[in-house]
Amino acid sequence: MNERMTPVNTALIVANLVVYGLQFLLGRSIENLFALQPIGDFYMHAPFRIWQLVTYGFLHSPYTIAHIFFNLFALYMFGGEIERLFGSRRYAIYYFLCVIGAALMHLLVVHVAELPPAPMVGASGGVFGLLLAFGMAWPRRKLMLLFPPIPMPAWLFVTLYGALELYLGITQTAQGVAHFAHLGGMATGFVLIRYWRQRARRG
């Protein structure tokens, strides 16, 4: 059996694929209801609902296969090992809290910075939480970049990726990408891991 195919992580991948198929069948209606909508009267034709803090993480852009491919590839590559490390229950808690933390960070930044309102979709918040967990658990494990193909230790990969997301978010270089949501997923993961480690020491 493929060691990466752990139960919760496999369920997440399958759920993302099923929802992606539903997006093509149901069109805009599923996105209006389940994508993360901005908060405020200016966007009331598709209003914010509390469940969107989670459900947006199972939707992806229907206009490009790359969005769902890279998210699910990262889930496949990193999720299984982290699930075995955390255990299935704690892994599920970790993933979903990172998704929620990413959503809250995105909504906060959009509100404070008065950015153009737009719905958000994608599993990236949870994925960036997984990258952070991988870098903290195995900091010296070598990871290979796709572009360019340069190997580097996991701690450096995660640090540089986080710094790049911060730069792109501040400068708004890559429009249409929720960079601060990515950072929110990483920040949530960091807080959770530190909390669990401290509680383990006390126990």
Q: What is the pLDDT of residue 27?
A: 80
HEC string of the chain equals CCCCCCHHHHHHHHHHHHHHHHHHHHCHHHHHHHCECCCCHHHCCCCCCCCHHHHHHHCCCCCCHHHHHHHHHHHHHHHHHHHHHHCHHHHHHHHHHHHHHHHHHHHHHHHHCCCCCCCECCCHHHHHHHHHHHHHHCCCCEEECCCCCCEEEHHHHHHHHHHHHHHHHHHCCCCCCCHHHHHHHHHHHHHHHHHHHHHHHHC
Q: What is the pLDDT of residue 202?
A: 82
Q: What is the pLDDT of residue 1?
A: 47
pTM of the model: 0.91
Q: What is the pLDDT of residue 115?
A: 75
Q: What does the domain layout of the chain look like in residue ranges?
A: 7-202
pLDDT tens, per residue, the chain with 203 residues: 466 689 999 999 999 999 999 998 888 889 889 999 988 755 556 788 999 999 999 999 888 898 999 999 999 999 999 999 999 999 999 999 999 999 999 999 888 877 777 889 999 999 999 999 999 999 999 887 666 678 889 999 899 888 888 877 777 655 667 888 999 999 999 999 999 999 888 86
Q: What is the pLDDT of residue 148?
A: 65
In the CATH scheme, what architecture does the domain 7-202 have? Up-down Bundle (1.20)
Q: What is the pLDDT of residue 165?
A: 83
Q: What is the pLDDT of residue 122?
A: 93
